[in-house]
Amino acid sequence: MSWIPKSANSGRCDESKPSCTRCQRYGALCSYPPVASGKANVAAAISKPDSVMSSLSLSDLTSRIEDILKSDQGFNASHIEPNSAHPISVLAFQHFINSSTQTVGNPSIRAVMKSDMIRVSFTVSPSPFLTLTRTGADEGMPSQSPYLMYTILAVGTLHLNRISPDNKMRRFAETYFWQRAIKLYQAALTSKVTRQNVDSLLSTCMFMGLITLCPEDMKPTDSWVLSDKPDAMNWLCLQSGLRCIINLAGSYVDSSIWGSAFQQAHKEEIQLYEQGIQVGRDGLDPDLADLCGVDEFTSAKTNPYYEPLRLLAAIFGLERNFKNSAQCATFMGRLETDFLALLRIKDPAALLILVQWMGLMCTLSHWQPWSEGRLRCEAIAICMYLEHSPDPRVLRLLEFPASACGYPLLNDS
């Protein structure tokens, strides 16, 4: 997903039609599309996931969303109802459909997000708080857990807030939506993945990492590299969550709403990552290979740096465009536990691999503006941490990411 951070567009949308000049300047779809009213066919922009959604009016959509949220024990309408003609929940939902999904580079993934995933969000999963057999004591308790709907609303609100951050009520709503989404999603994960909940779990997981990728007012000193906070690197570990859910889901994935899209993405990844050399250092940067202890016999089984190095070499060879920028973004979700452990102890070689990718994402921020939210700051922090190294290879390897993220190295004249 792609977002415009606060630092990129701190003013309000100028509301020029059909697309405001401020949003055009920062590569965003306009965050103030005309709001439908009365019996307008709001859901026509949802790619008609089913006949019900394609016929909803704005009032119908409002009622449907509120019905879903009211199934949650923690729901409080006053938390999301601003002093406005339209609820924040509806505006966030519309923005997610009309704008947020448009930033997804993979067309097959984007198509599911705009269609089947929306249908699933209105047919929410069984509540993890209830037993399978209802008893008299259960009567009157909620029978559903709307974590996917909360997640969609949280993403839509986050996107709006990063584009135009001066709405206090909407900022409160974003916090509330994320809080409910995370709490209910965590509860759902305590139960088994089933054919009935796999669509909701996979869909929710795909968005959960966004809140950590798009923080407000991020500074380089907030990075785990320059701080002693044990949880400061959790944002990166969270990006591999989808892989864990897929492993837990097993055979249910192929029959899920994501089955076909994941299969297509997998075919493309095989073409990109598994057709090249799998042993040795050919195609790798010589200095980086030396620092990582890679020789002609090294493989992923013998060296924790090797797989990230090969992934990096593959994506650096791609043409820089919208679709490929989305493929480059998947790097962070492919990092294995052994490599993450090296990053956590601030291993210089591991940091150099990661900052090369961060630098690449900075150059792709035209298509992936969310990179401005955290990655640019993290890249600067790594440059600050490593620039005092006496090893000339480290300094040479810092030149590209430092230039890409806009950090002047100390040895630059």
Task: State pLDDT tens for residues 162-205.
Answer: 888 888 888 888 999 999 999 999 999 888 889 899 999 999 99
First-to-last C-alpha distance (Å) of the chain: 37
Count CA atoms closer than 13 A to 262's CA, side-chain side. Answer: 16
DSSP result, 307-345: HHHHHHHHHHTS--SHHHHHHHHGGGGG--HHHHHHHHT
Q: What contacts 169, CB < 8 A, 6 or more positions away?
A: 82, 83, 88
At 60-115, the pLDDT tens digits run: 777 888 888 877 766 665 555 455 677 888 889 989 998 888 888 888 999 999 99
Tell me the backbone φ, ψ of residue 234, rounded to 5 degrees: -60, -30
pTM of the model: 0.78
Extract long-range pairs of 261-264: CB within 8 Å, 24+ residues apart: 261/106, 261/108, 261/109, 261/111, 261/112, 264/108
Of 67 and 404, more confident: 404
CA pair distance 281, 297, nearest whole angstrom: 8
SS3 223: coil
Please tell me the predicted confidence (pLDDT) of residue 75. Answer: 62
Rounded average pLDDT over 229-253: 89
CA 291 – CA 60 distance, rounded (Å): 60
Does residue 34 have a pLDDT over 60? no
Looking at every residue in the chain, the average pLDDT score rounds to 80
Rounded to whole angstroms, what are the CA distances from 20 to 9, 16, 23? 12, 4, 6
pLDDT of residue 407: 95
Give the least confident one: 9-13, 120-124, 259-263, 300-304.
9-13
Structure-block tokens of residue 398: 């810092």
- Whether the predicted pLDDT of 31 surpasses 60: no
More confident residue, 44 or 374: 374
pLDDT tens digit sequence for 357-403 = 999 999 999 888 888 889 999 999 999 999 999 999 999 999 999 99
The rounded distance, in Å, linking the Cα atoms of 119 and 43 is: 11
Please name which of 394, 136, 411 lies closest in space to residue 287, comparing C-alpha atoms: 394
